[in-house]
Structure 1
Amino acid sequence: MPDSLRQEIASAAHTIVIKVGTRSITHSDGTLNTERIQQLAEDITRCCNAGKRVVLVSSGAVGAGMSLLGLKSRPTDLAKLQAVAAVGQAHLIQTYDKTFSQLGRRAAQVLLTLDDVKDRIRYLNVRNTLLSILELGAVPIINENDTVSVDELMTTFGDNDRLAAMVTNLIRAPLLVIVSDVEGLYDGDPSLSSSQLIPTVTAIDERILSFVRDKKTGLSKGGMASKLEAARIVTTAGENVIIGNCKRTSILTEVMSGELVGTLFAGQGKAISPFKRWLGFTAVTRGKLQLDAGARKAIVEQGRSLLAAGISDVQGKFGKGDVVALCDAEGQIIARGLTNYSADDVERIKGLKSAKFAQVLGHSPYDEVIHRDNLVLVSK
């Protein structure tokens, strides 16, 4: 039965990002499931034909490579894993394009690394490319560039859930649909009959996070932890996320009809600007500023700029114009912003009022260490 809130979200969602994981489009042995890709393409095409724009973030390059190379198990060696992904990526996009072309659409391959979105200019270039692909009526198929993304080189997104969240913010899509191997977020182990599906989440708080934490260690576990982080990134920017089951062959159609599918994570407040999305959730931070209670309150509750008087500690080496994280007394990151002063200068003026800047630094170009226009909250 349709839900009024979901119908409202679906109606306003002119652009949708849908993320499918490897298990959503592969068989149990890891090889590519072309029947599932056909169902997914049909589902996306129905949505496009209804006037929506759809971006697909898809894993599966390794599975496709395994299919072509006749491998029965996933390689564990990094170089071989990347080689299999290189073989598979061409087959994966070819399969998507062949399937979409039979339905009157074309697929466009877009491979990304973290470097492509952490830099502001490259971030905008990727955004413009994706929007142009959509204007041409094609379906962008995005994947992390597995052949060059190596953890040791710090060029990996970590997982495609995070990549999908970044893409959602990149193009200001009002809705991200994450296709999972479970129905949504449960209040316990999904395998237990006593666990209940949570249909709607209005805030990703400690209670919600506790559902994906090990009770003994307190650490996040399982794929749902990364999906919650993706939901946090998107909902903090004011957009919506739905996590649903890959066994639903027409999940996108159901979502766009407002059906009670999976778990809805509702957007928090008004949607924020593209610049603040990049600043808050994509740009790489160069340091940290620890705030006292007064500064935290001024930023979080009163929407004010960061003054030096409220800074208690400075960490990292950064220059004027770099992105820095703002932390509370417990070390939790609450905001990010572009600093007007270098780390050395902030160290010298921390705790001081702006009237004393000239005396200490010999100059006083800015009253604020970070102006409110260049600051975005990432947690409350």
Structure 2
Amino acid sequence: MVHRNVQNTHRPTKSSLTLVIKVGTSSICDEKTHFPLLGNLSMIVETIIKLKSLGHRVVLVTSAAVGTGLRRLNMPSKPSKLASVQAIAAVGQGRLMAIYDDLFGQFNQAVAQILLTRNDLADRSQYLNAVNCLEELLDMGVVPIVNENDTISVSEIRFGDNDTLSAITAGMVKADYLFLMTDVDCLYSDNPRTNPQAAPVRVCDDIEGLRESITVTSPGSSLGTGGMVTKLIAADLATAAGVTTIITRGSKPDNITQIISDADNAPLHTRFVAKKTPLMDRKWWILHGLHTAGTIYVEEPAAKDIIGSKNSSLTAAGVVKVAGHFVSNQSANIVVERMNSDGELEEVTVAKGIVNYSSQEIERIMRCDPEDVSKILGYEDSDYVINRDNMAIVI
């Protein structure tokens, strides 16, 4: 069953939980005037203070740097020029943190600003530094406030939206719950604003199957970048890391307290069940922290070995094609081409891993046995194109 209206038994039972709460632009500032929604923000802050008083650790992932910057600069709408958006975000980020610091300061609660891009997580040591910083802040009782560093982000290093950023943050801190706060109570089978027959999805343990059974077209607000599509992606990322993910209404943040204490009797929400066998931290980093620099196409037998064996590395003999330009120690997708049910050739991503050779070197040694690598290249860094320890399986 893809989604169901039943009680869920797969939820954390610890008395102290680690929670990541993602708040979107529409919950922080007005879409037209860009004035801050202080009532909403105050309720979010009060909810976090209450959660901390119950012994929980909380990370806040926030949007609205651009929206806040537009208000500060008295600009009517977000420009299309990248440099302009980055400049507006630079103005807005400081003002946004000042608002949070004022609100949390009423309760003598310390907060910390964490600005990230994918580039910050691409290097393993930087990734671990970010993890250690977040953990230390939580141990100190501080509320980390995470946002994408829009002032320097470009398409290649962007998370794309803060739903994705919140999922990666949840994986980094090994959260028990990720809360995606939005402008509806839960995920529906269709747009409830246009289809009165749209049914709520209460519990989901198969996100891929869910995508095929519902209609999701919400693009998000004019200021934000998200929507239900990005929330499904975020839920997929977070549950793979063992994080139970919740979609609930952003204007009612107190729902969070009820959901973690008695989810079966809590207000309407959607629960995505965490995977029982989550990815290990290093595999998670490879899959979601590293920028994908290229693609390595493999034969069907090589793909089956990778999927079916826990010890199978990728040798040059199984490689049939390379796409993109990358160097050793960058990451690449491992893809196999298969015929689908309609008789059409389709690409299926099998895994992602850190390569031992550059794209040019792999093109020279592909289809060759491991013992021939040194003869062709004149040297041999490894018997494998990608070692199993540096590979995260996708399917």
Give the superposition deviation at 1:80. Answer: 4.5
Is contact 1:202–1:266 with CA below 8 Å preserved after alignment?
A: yes
Matched, 1:124 2:110: no
Residues 268-302 of structure 1 show CA distances to partners (whole Å, capped at 9, x for unaligned) of: 24233322211111111222111222222222233
Residue of structure 1 in register with 2:255 after alignment: 251
Which of 355, 370, 380 is the equivalent residue of 2:386?
370
Pick closer, same or farther for the CA change 1:209–1:122 going to 2, 3 Å.
Answer: farther
Residues 94-118 of structure 1 show CA distances to partners (whole Å, capped at 9, x for unaligned) of: 2211211222311211222232222
Write the distance in 1 (CA, Å) between the matches of 2:13 and 2:68: 32
Residue of structure 2 in register with 1:156 after alignment: 158
Residue of structure 1 in register with 2:204 after alignment: 201
Aligned residues: 369
Is contact 2:162–2:226 with CA below 8 Å preserved after alignment?
A: no
Write the distance in 2 (CA, Å) between the matches of 1:170 and 1:109: 16
Matched, 1:23 2:31: no
Pick closer, same or farther for the CA change 1:10–1:65 going to 2, 3 Å.
Answer: farther
Write the distance in 2 (CA, Å) between the matches of 1:112 and 1:357: 39
Is contact 2:22–2:60 with CA below 8 Å preserved after alignment?
A: yes
Partner amino acid, structure 1, of 2:348: Q
Is contact 2:243–2:274 with CA below 8 Å preserved after alignment?
A: yes
Q: What is the TM-score of this pair, normalised by structure 1? A: 0.87
Which of 135, 138, 145 is the equivalent residue of 2:139?
135
Give the superposition deviation at 1:55. Answer: 0.6
Q: Which runs of 5+ in 2 are unaligned?
A: 218-224, 338-345
Which of 107, 110, 117 is the equivalent residue of 1:113?
117
Q: What is the TM-score of this pair, normalised by structure 2? A: 0.84
Which of 308, 321, 329 is the equivalent residue of 2:316?
308
Is contact 2:137–2:143 with CA below 8 Å preserved after alignment?
A: yes
CA-based RMSD = 2.6
Write the distance in 1 (CA, Å) between the matches of 2:381 and 2:126: 30
Residue of structure 1 in register with 2:331 after alignment: 323
Aligned to 1:276, the other structure's residue is in SS state: helix
Write the distance in 2 (CA, Å) between the matches of 1:13 and 1:201: 24
Q: Which runs of 5+ in 1 are unaligned?
A: 215-220
Q: Identity, % of aligned pairs? A: 34
Write the distance in 1 (CA, Å) between the matches of 2:362 and 2:119: 28
Residue of structure 1 in register with 2:290 after alignment: 283
Is contact 1:2–1:258 with CA below 8 Å preserved after alignment?
A: no
Write the distance in 1 (CA, Å) between the matches of 2:372 and 2:192: 58
1:79-228 correspondence to structure 2 within 5 Å? 79-151=83-155, 154-191=156-193, 192-209=195-212, 211-212=214-215, 223-228=227-232
Aligned to 2:248, the other structure's residue is in SS state: strand
Partner amino acid, structure 1, of 2:332: V
Matched, 1:337 2:340: no
Aligned to 2:238, the other structure's residue is in SS state: helix
Moved more, 35-44 or 154-163: 154-163
Give the superposition deviation at 1:315. Answer: 1.7
Give the superposition deviation at 1:367. Answer: 3.1
Aligned to 2:263, the other structure's residue is in SS state: coil
Is contact 1:11–1:256 with CA below 8 Å preserved after alignment?
A: no
Give the superposition deviation at 1:149. Answer: 2.5
Partner amino acid, structure 2, of 1:20: V
Write the distance in 1 (CA, Å) between the matches of 2:44 and 2:51: 11
Give the superposition deviation at 1:137. Answer: 0.8
